[in-house]
């Protein structure tokens, strides 16, 4: 699976809106086209957005309007802004933009493999791992974060419980697809079944990804993550967050300052051409929520695992 293909003069993005039904690439030749592809969720997942944005800067030849268009595409995943900042620094140092974008891509792949190994050590034999959204190869340069941990722990005969992830169905469409392709046993549930399964003892641990981790360890991730963390605490189920260092934002003191994207009402009113809600109803569609650090058992990143994260341990981890 190659969700992001750099071809020298163009970026090819596997259109995640059509999966699992259809495998089709969207071709981007300009920074504006990459920005639009990010906004429209052709490519999604925090690290993948960062990689795509870096190649967008290359296509836009580092022009200020290229940075501006890409920075406006989606607000929550800090990997996007982290990648743009890295590209700016490389440009001011006189380094080649293409080499920097390729480095960002390769480093993300390496970070995921490393965090996968660290995380796998925490996963018991035959564990039933609940996860949310899609954090696999599709959401990154490859391997994945939370799903990367599962991939790395495959030899332990683990299985996945994938929450479908309303309203955009990244769990049902993308995580389930990746697991089926890879031969990882996967059970799909609707989001509102998670508490029931936990209360019956059917979940051994929860592992999710992150879009931005604040300086105090609060975690912004796909809407529904907070509810899973609260329920995991209630049932004494370990709740881990897997994310590379590019997802940490030490300039944000705590989760209340993380910008939360609100997406179009149409995603809640129905799905694709089907509409089930009445005209005239009001809609909220926050795409992310914030899980307070106190509910997080540990954060897994390429440098290792921080148990019970707080301001001090996060600062040490990132500085290390
Ligand atoms: O709206 P999306 O699909 O871009 O949201 C993705 C998530 O919330 C993921 O859990 C997160 O980016 C981590 S991906 C490795």
Cα(185)–Cα(128) distance, rounded to whole angstroms?
Answer: 10
What is the share, in percent, of the chain residues with pLDDT greater than 70?
Answer: 100
The pLDDT assigned to 302 comes to 98
76 ligand 1 Cβ < 6 A: no
222 ligand 1 Cβ < 6 A: yes
Convert the pLDDT of each residue in 206-243 to its tens digit.
Answer: 999 999 999 999 999 999 999 999 999 999 999 999 99
Residue 272 has pLDDT above 90, yes or no: no
112 ligand 1 Cβ < 6 A: no
Query: What is the pLDDT confidence band of residue 320, given thresholds at 50, 70 and 90?
Result: confident
CA distances (Å), origin 297, targets 54, 61, 130, 242, 291: 32, 43, 14, 11, 11
Convert the pLDDT of each residue in 113-159 to its tens digit.
Answer: 999 999 999 999 999 999 999 999 999 999 999 999 999 999 999 99
Residue 253 has pLDDT above 90, yes or no: yes
Tokens 């909220």 appear where?
A: 284
Convert the pLDDT of each residue in 59-75 to its tens digit.
Answer: 999 999 999 999 999 99
Q: Residue 56 phi/psi, 5° resolution?
A: -60, -40
The pLDDT assigned to 270 comes to 96
Q: Of these residues, 15, 204, 211, 218, which one is catalytic?
A: 211
The pLDDT assigned to 24 comes to 98
Q: Is 211 a catalytic residue?
A: yes
Reported as half-sphere exposure (CB side, CA atoms, 13 A), residue 119 has a value of: 39
């Amino acid at each position: 699976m190659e969700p992001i293909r750099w071809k020298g003069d163009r970026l090819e993005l596997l259109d995640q809106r059509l999966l699992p039904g259809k495998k089709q690439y969207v071709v981007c030749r300009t920074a504006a086209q990459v920005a639009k592809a990010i906004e429209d969720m052709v490519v999604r997942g925090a690290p993948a957005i960062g990689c795509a944005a870096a190649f967008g800067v290359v296509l836009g030849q580092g022009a200020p309007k290229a940075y501006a268009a890409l920075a406006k595409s989606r607000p929550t995943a800090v990997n996007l802004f982290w990648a743009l900042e890295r590209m700016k620094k490389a440009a001011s140092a006189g380094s080649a933009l293409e080499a920097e974008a390729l480095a960002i891509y390769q480093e993300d792949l390496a970070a995921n493999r490393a965090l996968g190994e660290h995380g796998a050590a925490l996963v018991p034999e035959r564990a039933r791992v609940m996860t949310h959204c899609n954090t696999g190869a599709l959401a990154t340069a490859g391997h994945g974060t939370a799903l990367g941990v599962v991939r790395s722990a495959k030899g332990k005969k683990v299985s996945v419980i994938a929450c479908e992830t309303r309203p955009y169905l990244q769990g049902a469409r993308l995580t389930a697809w990746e697991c089926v392709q890879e031969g990882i046993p996967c059970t799909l549930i609707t989001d509102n079944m998670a508490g029931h399964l936990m209360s019956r003892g059917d979940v051994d641990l929860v592992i999710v990804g992150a879009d931005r981790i604040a300086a105090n360890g609060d975690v912004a991730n796909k809407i529904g993550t907070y509810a899973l963390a609260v329920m995991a605490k209630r049932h004494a189920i370990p709740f881990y967050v897997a994310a590379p260092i590019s997802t940490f934002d030490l300039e944000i003191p705590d989760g209340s300052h993380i910008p939360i994207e609100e997406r179009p009402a149409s995603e809640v009113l129905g799905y694709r051409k089907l509409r089930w809600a009445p005209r005239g109803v009001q809609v909220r569609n926050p795409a992310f929520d914030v899980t307070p650090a106190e509910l997080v058992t540990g954060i897994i990143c390429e440098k290792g695992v921080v148990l019970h994260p707080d301001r001090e341990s996060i600062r040490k981890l990132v500085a290390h």
